[in-house]
Chain A
Amino acid sequence: MGDDILSYNGGVALAMKGKECVAIACDKRYGVQNRTIATNFTKIFQYSDHCFVAFCGLATDVQTVSERLKFRTNLYELREQRKLKPVVLYNMLTNLLYERRFGPYFVFALVVGLDPKTGETYVYDSDNVGAVSDNVNLATVGTASEYIFGLGELFFKPNMNSDELFEATSQALLNGVDRDSASGWGAVVYVIEKDKITVRELKGRQD
């Protein structure tokens, strides 16, 4: 586990793209170094019909940043009288994180979204100071990210339908967290399509 602040509480999240669908998944462990305190701490938050963000890192900052971002997005929706687009959400998040460049929040983030009119998919990742990434096929953050990168690259293929996408995301996450002691204790996968969001709780090793 180490003394690294980002692995103090553990946790991991993964996002993958499909054809007109995106999946975002996270584990459910909340721990304090080697002790597991809770097994229902999901790290995925919804900001719009089709926009989700996952935060991994120090748990207090996961909660603070998700709520601060909610504040900003709520004001945006009230002022603009329209729903948030994934790119806008991503820019708001990276601005929030970069504002604290010299006293950063200890969270890495994943932003996923779908445009319901065009079916265009968005997956972005950010480090803890808001480094901007391009729209990628696969992204993962958290303590088990190194293991999940490998599995994700293996299972990912372009233009998957929602069932294939769900299987690929779930297997990459479950097998990755099995090799990391700081994450696990179940998983949740959100598959976002134009007309529906399917939330599935996965059966995983409870250790």
Chain B
Amino acid sequence: MSGLAFEQPTGGFVFDNCRRNELLLSNGVLPGKIHKTGTTIAAITYKDGVVIAADSRCTSGTIIFDDNVLKIHRLSDNIYALGAGTAADCDFQTRLLESQLELLKLNQDRQVRVATAVRKIQQHLFRYQGHLGAYLIIVGVDVTGSHIATVHPHGSIAFLPFVASGSGGYTSLSVIEDRFKENMTEEEAKQLARDALYASTTTDLYSGSRINMYVLTKEKLDKFLPYEVVGVRSDKQNDYTLAKGTTQVLSTNVKKIEFDIVNEKVKTTTGTHEAMELA
């Protein structure tokens, strides 16, 4: 696909900048920082289903770019994915998988299984030999029961009863390892997930702000957006409103936008008229 004038997007990756970028890098220029999600994501199975939780911070280096990101991506009505690693890869790869699963569901006329989603994403990531930085946790409830799988960028997977991932993953995992037991109740599972996320949002600097949680069972999906706000903002001490005219302006140009008339209504008054008095 040449980079010439008439460029029709054909789908898939395009490599026309690669040669130029290689040249820049060989001249000693450093590549720019890509947004990394730098995250904590965790999932726990309990008696009736699964509880999934994620923090909401998105960092680029040490700058917090976005304080309220949803890291829980829908793959199907019964399957969700949590994404850690490079933000763009998590977003696009889960979106791609979502559309593939929708087509599969329509084709096979059955609810999609977690194992199918995991196999598809694993084979896709393996093709790219780890260059797509998506550390995913695929979670869902299907005819065979509730499942949690962790997927690594090179394509390795593991089906586990509980898992935590991301930069704050180790912290969360230690909390879960301590208190996990089979067949917990929903309240116990939610509390454990909350405590695990709380531990990492307070210790890991790349995780923070809010704890978002979904509870997924065969019958329902409960969304808690957020379940808890860990990074509570204090109110501003002062009012910093700037008076009109603070900024010196060299020139102003006002462009009016033409309105399209969508609807026209003429209302006539129907009240009784007072007779005119002719004195």
Contact = CB atoms under 8 A, between A and B. Distances in A.
A167 B248 CA distance: 10
A95 interface: yes
Given A129-B88, A167-B247, A49 B29 contact: no
Interface string B244-276: 101111111111110100000000000000000
Contact of B259 (A5, A146, A167, A195): A195
Contacts of A200: 249-253
A104 B22 CA distance: 11
A196 B257 contact: yes
Contacts of A101: 13, 88-89, 92, 132
A154 B14 contact: no
Interface string B130-153: 011000000000000000000000
B92 A130 contact: yes
A17 B277 CA distance: 57
Interface in A141-156: 145-146, 149, 154-155
B100 to A, nearest CB: 17
B21 A103 contact: yes
A85 B187 CA distance: 42
B70 interface: yes
B34 A2 contact: no
Nearest to B32: A6
Interface residues on A, range: 35 or more
Contacts of B236: 154, 157
B205 interface: no
A125 interface: yes
Interface stretch (B61-69, B74-82, B171-179): B61-69
A94 B236 CA distance: 34
A49 B63 contact: no
Nearest to A132: B91
Contacts of A136: 66, 68
B57 to A, nearest CB: 12
B30 interface: yes
A197 interface: yes
Contacts of B34: 104, 127-129, 131
A119 interface: no
Nearest to B233: A153
A123 to B, nearest CB: 11
B16 interface: yes
B58 interface: yes
A162 to B, nearest CB: 10
B48 to A, nearest CB: 30
Contacts of A134: 66, 68-70
Contacts of A96: 9
A80 interface: no
Interface in A133-182: 133-134, 136, 145-146, 149, 154-155, 157, 163-164, 166-168, 170-171, 174
A203 B250 contact: yes
A8 B29 contact: yes
B87 A128 contact: no
Contacts of B87: 127, 131-132
25 contacts: A50-B257, A72-B9, A99-B9, A100-B14, A101-B132, A103-B17, A104-B21, A116-B257, A129-B86, A129-B88, A130-B92, A131-B35, A133-B65, A134-B70, A149-B63, A157-B236, A164-B242, A167-B242, A195-B259, A197-B254, A199-B253, A200-B251, A202-B247, A203-B248, A203-B250
Given A127-B87, A166-B247, 6 more contacts: A2-B30, A103-B21, A125-B66, A130-B88, A131-B87, A202-B248
